[in-house]
Structure 1
Amino acid sequence: MADLIYGEMELFVVCLLLGAFLAMMYDGIRIFRMCFRHKEFVVDMEDLIFWLFTAWMVFRTLFYYNRGTLRGYAFLGLFLGVLIYTLTLSRVFLFFAGKLVPIFRKGWNLAIRPIRYLKGKIRKTLKKMGAEVTMAWKSR
């Protein structure tokens, strides 16, 4: 009997930690979105991948610790883990990320500037070559 209760307590604590971990991962996605602009479709795909990963992690955990049996206390642990993380560490995490994102963006833009310059030059050259080919083709 004590082993059963110990196993249920262990599952509850693991679900609590898993909930906090998944919330932290979503904060990471939010920070990534702050760094780089996304189209709505890409945001939807990121969310879909995140939720598929979340479902896989939850059911994997339930199968490992409880042979796949759905228990209310496991979902309560997940919910409380997300809630506790969101009310405590998430704010600190996002605050510091908000301070670092502009610095990262400036560095990224500085690093990417030569690539953008070359891309513009190549595009201009190809466009010019395309116009010359078109003119040569029409003169036949």
Structure 2
Amino acid sequence: MSTFIHHELFLLLRTIAVGAVLLLCYDLLAAFRNVFAHSDKAVGTEDILYWLCCAFFVFSEIYRSNEGILRFFMVLGFLSGAYICHRILGDIFVKCCTKFMEIPVIII
């Protein structure tokens, strides 16, 4: 295979991994919300900050890895990485993180 194809395959794998990491970060935020009660305004503010951070992170990844050129398979990679991670780890990760975050709260 040519070097270009290797670069594109690596880029696809990288976008799948980034999509999974972004979903795990949101699941971590969901676990934090399970431990500490939030008002609707606080949840909305957290969501806006999360999505702004995601947008900057995805932009920097696209800029760094592909010189700012957005390809359709990259969008599919982000979405499929998040979907696969949600199907495999989603509920288990939130439950484990919630239990882990509850330990200091129970001690205090």
Give the TM-score, by structure 2 length: 0.89
Unaligned runs of 5+ in 2: none
Cα drift, residue 42 of structure 1: 1.2
Greater RCO (CA < 8 Å, at least 6 residues apart): 2
User: Whole-Å Cα distance in 2 between the matches of residues 102 and 70 of structure 1?
Assistant: 41
User: Whole-Å Cα distance in 1 between the matches of residues 26 and 2 of structure 2?
Assistant: 36
Quick check: 1:18–1:78 contact (8 Å CA) kept in 2? Answer: yes
Corresponding residue of 2:26: 26
Matches within 5 A, 1:30-109: 30-100=30-100, 103-107=103-107
SS of alignment partner, residue 70 of structure 1: coil
User: Whole-Å Cα distance in 2 between the matches of residues 23 and 61 of structure 1?
Assistant: 16
SS of alignment partner, residue 88 of structure 1: helix
Cα drift, residue 55 of structure 1: 0.6
- 1:8 is the counterpart of 2:35: no
SS of alignment partner, residue 38 of structure 2: coil
User: Whole-Å Cα distance in 1 between the matches of residues 34 and 70 of structure 2?
Assistant: 36
User: Whole-Å Cα distance in 2 between the matches of residues 91 and 33 of structure 1?
Assistant: 14
User: Whole-Å Cα distance in 2 between the matches of residues 106 and 6 of structure 1?
Assistant: 50
Amino acid at match of 2:8: E
| Larger-Rg structure | 1
Superposition misfits of 4+ residues, deviation over 4 angstroms: 98-104
SS of alignment partner, residue 37 of structure 2: coil
Quick check: 1:34–1:101 contact (8 Å CA) kept in 2? Answer: no
Q: How many residues were matched structurally?
A: 108
Amino acid at match of 2:39: K
Quick check: 2:22–2:82 contact (8 Å CA) kept in 1? Answer: yes
SS of alignment partner, residue 95 of structure 2: helix
Cα drift, residue 104 of structure 1: 4.6
Give the TM-score, by structure 1 length: 0.70
User: Whole-Å Cα distance in 2 between the matches of residues 49 and 94 of structure 1?
Assistant: 20
